[in-house]
Amino acid sequence: MGVGRRLFCSLGLGAILLAGGLTTAPSISSAQEALPEKFANDPVAKALGPKIFNAALKEGKVVWYGATTTSDFVKAGGADLFKKRFGIEVELVNGRLRNLTDRLSTESAVGKVEGDVFLGNDEYMIELQRNGILEKWRPPAPELANINADAFVQDPPDYWFPVQISAQGLLINTDMVKDGEIKSYKDLLDPKWQGKVVMRDPRSLDGGGAQMAAIYNDPALGLDFIKKFAEITKPVIIQGGTSATKDAVIRGQFAVGFSGRGEFMLNLPAGTPMKFLVPTEGLAWTPSSIATLHGGPHPNAAKVLETWFYELPQLQLWASVARGVPHPNVDPPIPEMSVTKNKLMKPIPDSMLANLNPFFDQMEKVFGIR
């Protein structure tokens, strides 16, 4: 049979097969590019695509670096929900954000990054990105666009993405302060409050520095107010965890406490003599975001985790057990925790967050050397 006839027959056979609805078996490569049947309609799997998603399933694990809020989310069942849905294990590495950031810098320097995802304050994100520790990648999650991005540091873009803002107001002992007696920060510039105000350390951002930084940047308050406040009120700086001021106010050791958070009002026994006050100036706040770590051992599982995290049920769970999520459809468990209905102060400038040392130098001049 001549070459022309063989070619004609081959083409003819192909036409007959197609006409009869017959197809050849899929190639191995095309089969690998398909999502597993059980995930064919999963929105996260579809958004990421088979290449990333199937690689994530093979990795089978994601390591998440985070502090108290991340731990609360995991304890509330977040990690279990993720594993149940995707079969991917979540390993939490919990610690103070400053310590975790230093650890990541060390891991990166020796070329052995052990974490995949980091969730922390935006000032740490700026630091990590400058040191080349964050991966530039945006989760393909529709709800991400509905979070108020203006409340977060956005430059440079696509290295970290908004999660929560930690909002701070005042705590009032209702046995020691009359209703309406304190409305504004300026009301504290009264000698009657001398020795009756407690605060976490304003010379450290992990303490009370965030709230004082917001006051520092408020045109109606600023450094002049801080100096008068320190001179007149002589606040007591307390050491301890996030709830140190809460406990001191409830016990009646102090009438007013700084570093007050709305979530402190959760599950309080009836009759507890404390309320959360939003000053007329608004709530001070600091933003926290989530990012993929460059060079992590499970890069694809990290992308699954972050994309999944931005679904409404996960955002709602986060808001219920951790901090305020500035999303119009995410509701806090109590009104005091709302970061969409309660007034917010002006954001701390990005340039200041990137270098807080000059601010802390000012605070040491006012409150003394640490």
pTM above 0.75? yes
User: And the tokens for 252?
Assistant: 């009646």
3-state secondary structure of 352: helix
- The C-alpha atoms of residue 133 and residue 362 are separated, in whole angstroms, by 30
User: In the prediction, which pLDDT does 135 show?
Assistant: 97
Burial 173-202 (b: 16+ CB within 10 A, else e): beebbeeeebeebbbbeeeebeebbbbbbb
Residue pair 231/189 in contact (Cβ under 8 Å)? The answer is no
User: In the prediction, which pLDDT does 32 show?
Assistant: 57
3-state secondary structure of 92: strand
Q: Measured between alpha carbons, how far apart are the two ends of the chain, in Å? A: 96
- The C-alpha atoms of residue 18 and residue 341 are separated, in whole angstroms, by 62
| In the block, residue with structure tokens 């695509």 | 49
User: In the prediction, which pLDDT does 206 show?
Assistant: 67
Start-end of CATH 3.40.190.10 domains in the chain? 37-165+287-334, 166-285+344-367
Cβ neighbours around 215 below 10 Å, total: 21
Assigned CATH for 166-285+344-367:
3.40.190.10
- The C-alpha atoms of residue 101 and residue 129 are separated, in whole angstroms, by 11
CA 117 from chain centre, in angstroms, equals 11
Domain 37-165+287-334 sits in CATH 3.40.50.300: no
Q: What residues of the chain score a pLDDT lower than 50?
A: 1-31
Work out the angle at residue 222's Cα, subtended by the Cα atoms of residues 362 and 282, and round it to the nearest 5 degrees: 125
User: In the prediction, which pLDDT does 239 show?
Assistant: 85
Q: Calculate the CA dihedral of residues 297, 315, 92, 129 and round it to 10 degrees.
A: 50
User: In the prediction, which pLDDT does 361 show?
Assistant: 95
